[in-house]
Amino acid sequence: MDVKTFEAFSMKDAVKAVKKELGSEAVILSTREKAAPGGKGTIYELTAAAPGSRKVGASGPRAQTTSVDYEAGLDHIQARLSALVDVAATRTQVQAVEAGLQELKLLVTEALRNKEGSLIHDLPKAMLPLERQLRLMGISDVTVAELIRHLRALPAADDTDGEGYYRDQAIRWMMKRIKIAPRWSVMAGSVSYQAIIGASGVGKTSMAAKLAALYALREKHQVVVVSLDHQRLAAAEQMRIFCKIIGLPFVAANSVDDLLKIQELHKDVELVLIDTAGVSSKNSQAIAGLAALKEQGLPVDFHLCVSATAKESQVEQEIRSFLNLGISSLMFSKLDESWAFGEIFNASRKWSIPLSFFSIGQQIPEDIERSTRERVIERIFGL
């Protein structure tokens, strides 16, 4: 078998080199990423083989596979690989930073643990695993301190299952402090306007598409999907195609008037789902544009979509900058890529904004779930 290794500064170029040298029927056997010499960027290494050199392929039924099939297959693999590499790069970097921070936090905690008079000095042994778990999940120091104060005030655990006792008590305490948003009141005879707002790339459009499918297909409501994302044509186009596939009306709106007209055009509409353009938390003009929707008489609720993979400080900043709009709920996306679920609890509690939906993967429409107290707790405690 003619196996060769190719290197390039992008996956696309590496695949191009493979095709050029081994032909369009080449088969990619493995991929690898490594740091470029001197630490400047990343090198993508592909190991590939020319299928003509494979004995089985030449004589078996596979020999009938046309080059068009191979081409299509290769393009598919290339697209999948590029996507994987993109995700892997950012995820690894973020996780490395997060892991470093986590380590620092644990060091500080250790120091506090040994400091006379600190709240966690001399913590009963049965509380230690609980305290560690909460810190590992990124539950804020304020919350951990409050919870420990509460647990310390309880009648002491008996010796048999102290750890279980404190965990159950902690779960009860936390359950009471998780706010879940009421369900949208979507019904015949009235129109509910729900807009998804947030920074670029957090997962607003994916969330809107999943919600459209949930309300229209599963819950059988009359849904109209609106894109207010007129900055990026491709963004609205993506939604238009999705709506066409699932048979929903789609409107690319530019103004409040366009939104108010929807009722005239679609008499039986019950839910207008609005996907908005990504707004940087520093762009006060764009935020004012969203506020104008309400000021001009549209009874719209704003739901802030934030990524569960974002740093705590970033989530803070995003919430802060949209606060004046009145945020009806927080929607967390990318739970499948996150492991510090405490952030969901912290953000909702600190700002007293209820949780509504979680996006748990890239698959549209299935990767969505309604937020529940139980699911938040299960994730934090790894149940």
Ligand X SMILES: Nc1nc2c(ncn2[C@@H]2O[C@H](COP(=O)(O)OP(=O)(O)O)[C@@H](O)[C@H]2O)c(=O)[nH]1
| Nearest distance in Å: CB 254, ligand X | 18
| Nearest distance in Å: CB 231, Mg ion | 10
* 140, 205, 329, 346: residue in contact with ligand X (rule CB under 6 A): 205
| Nearest distance in Å: CB 303, ligand X | 12
DSSP character string of 310-354: S-HHHHHHHHHHHGGG-EEEEEEE-GGG---THHHHHHHHHHT--
Taking the CB of residue 285, how many other CB atoms lie within 10 A of it?
7
Residue 14 interface partner, choices Mg ion, ligand X, none, CB cut-off 5-8 Å depending on type: none
Closer Cβ to ligand X, 171 or 228, answer by number: 228
**205 counts as binding Mg ion under rule CB under 5 A:** yes
For Mg ion, the binding residues in 229-248 under the rule CB under 5 A are: 235
**8 A C-beta contact, residue 235 and residue 196:** no
* 135, 167, 221, 334: residue in contact with ligand X (rule CB under 6 A): 334
Residue 320 backbone phi and psi in degrees, to 5: -55, -45
Integer Rg of the chain from CA: 26
**231 counts as binding ligand X under rule CB under 6 A:** no
- The neighbouring-strand residues paired with 8 are 44
**337 counts as binding ligand X under rule CB under 6 A:** yes
**328 counts as binding ligand X under rule CB under 6 A:** no
| SS3 category, 375 | helix
Closer Cβ to Mg ion, 120 or 253, answer by number: 253
CB closest to Mg ion, residue no: 205
Closer Cβ to ligand X, 51 or 203, answer by number: 203
| Nearest distance in Å: CB 336, ligand X | 5
Angle, helices 312-322/342-351, rounded to nearest 10 degrees: 30
**203 counts as binding ligand X under rule CB under 6 A:** yes
**325 counts as binding ligand X under rule CB under 6 A:** no
**162 counts as binding ligand X under rule CB under 6 A:** no
| SS3 category, 175 | helix
Angle at alpha carbon of residue 190, lines to 187 and 196, rounded to 5°: 80
